[in-house]
Amino acid sequence: MDYTHLGRSGASVSRICLGTMNFGSYTKPVEAHTIMNHALEQGVNFFDTANTYGRPRAEGVTESIIGDWLAGGQGRRDKIVLATKLYGGKGEWPNDRFLSAVNIRQACEASLRRLCTDHIDLYQMHHVDRSTPWEEIWEAMSVLRTQGKIIYCGSSNFAGWHIAQAQEAARRLGYFGLVCEQSRYNLAARTVELEVLPACQGYGLGVLPWSPLHGGLLSGILSRSAESAESAGRTSGGMSAEELEAAGPGQLSAYEAFCAELGHPPAQVALAWLLHQPAVTAPIAGPRTLEQLDGAIAAMQIRLDEKALGRLDEIFPGPGGAAPEAYAW
C-alpha cells in the first residue's frame, strides 16, 4: 500500500480511500464488514462516510454499520483515519441541517454515537452554506477540536472561491482551516481543473475525488455483455445512463479500446489516471464487493506514461487547464 499526507497535514493516508456510500443501500451490513476487514488487511487506512449515507437517507444508516464494525475492537479504530460529513438532514426542524453552530454541534454528537467512537479524524462540510458566516463555522469547529471530538476539517463540493473564502477566514481567526476538498473529479468530469484544483494546491489542500468512475460510466460499461440485475439497476438509470446518452458510444468505445491496448480494466485505468494527477491525495472508491475493492487497490500499480496520459486527454479533453489560461490569454 502507498501512503501520502492528507493535504498539508501530518496525517498519513492510503492512496485509495474506502468510500462507504453503498453500505446500507446496496451492500448489506455483513458484507460491508467483510469489505472493511479486507481493506484494513490490504493496508487501506482511510475510510470515508457521511451522516446521510444509507437507506433511508439522512438517518445515519451507513455510519451505524461502520460503528458496529468499530465496536468489534481488534484495534480497528486506532488503525484508520475516519472521515465523515455533515450538512444534509431530514429537515424536520429548522436547525437539522446546514452549517450553523447549532447543527455542527448536534450533527457531530449524533455521528459520534452512531460511529461508536469518541472522535472523528476528518470532519467534512458536505456543501457550502452561504447563509452562515465563516466566523461562526470556524468557531464551532474549533470548539469541537478543543474538546477532542474532531481533529481535521475538510470541505466537499466547494467552488474555488469558497475554498479561498474559508481559508482566509481561518487565517484571520488563527485556525488551521481546511486540509482537503472532496470534489466530483474523473476523466469524464474535469471542470474542477479550472479553479478548484488550483485553489487546493495554492492553499495546501488534498483532493479526494468522488465518483472516480463517473457513476459506472468508466467501468467498462460497453464491453460487459451481460449485467447482473443489481448492476443493471445501477447503470440503467441515474447519472451514468443520462451521461452515457449525452456522451454517445464513440467516446466510451475509444476509451475501452485504449484500456484493452494497455491491458488493464477500464475501472482501474480511470483510478490510475486520477492517481497520476498532482493535486489528488486519494480517489474515493466505493466498492459493493470484495472484487471491486481489490480492483481499486490494483490500480495503484498501473503506471501511465506521457503518451498514455496524452491519449486519455484526447479521448476525454479537459477544460484546457487552469483558469484563466483555459479560456483567455
C-beta separation of 223 from 196 below 8 A: no
Is 327 among the domain residues? no
Is 245 among the domain residues? yes
User: Which residue(s) pair with 48 in the sheet?
Assistant: 19, 83
Is 139 among the domain residues? yes
Is 320 among the domain residues? no
Does residue 236 carry a pLDDT above 70?
A: no
Burial class (CB within 10 angstroms; exposed 0-12, middle 13-18, buried 19+) of 290: middle
Beta strands per DSSP E along 11-149: 12-14, 17-19, 46-48, 81-86, 120-125
Does residue 230 carry a pLDDT above 50?
A: no
Q: Which three cell numbers stand for residue 239?
A: 447519472
Is 235 among the domain residues? yes
Q: Which residues contact 101 (CB under 8 A, 6 or more apart)?
A: 136, 137, 139, 140
Is 301 among the domain residues? yes
Position 73 scores a pLDDT of 85
Position 241 scores a pLDDT of 64
Position 124 scores a pLDDT of 98
Q: What is the CATH number of the domain that holds 105?
A: 3.20.20.100
Is 324 among the domain residues? no
Domain limits at 200? 3-315
Rounded Cα–Cα distance for residues 234 and 24 (Å): 15
Mean pLDDT in residue range 242-260 = 83
**Most confident of the ranges 89-93, 217-221, 235-239:** 217-221
Rounded Cα–Cα distance for residues 221 and 25 (Å): 21
Of 202 and 230, more confident: 202
Report the domain count for the chain.
Answer: 1
Catalytic residues: 53
Q: pTM score, two decimals? A: 0.93
Residues 266-300 pLDDT 10s:
999 999 999 999 999 999 999 999 999 999 999 99
Position 237 scores a pLDDT of 45
Q: How far is CA 129 from CA 17, 78, 194, 268, in A?
A: 25, 32, 22, 35
Mean pLDDT in residue range 90-94 = 82
Residues 31-76 pLDDT 10s:
999 999 999 999 999 999 999 999 999 899 999 999 999 999 899 9
Does residue 238 carry a pLDDT above 60?
A: no
Is 237 among the domain residues? yes
- Mean pLDDT, the chain, rounded, equals 93
Selection from 159, 277, 125 nearest residue 212 by Cα: 277
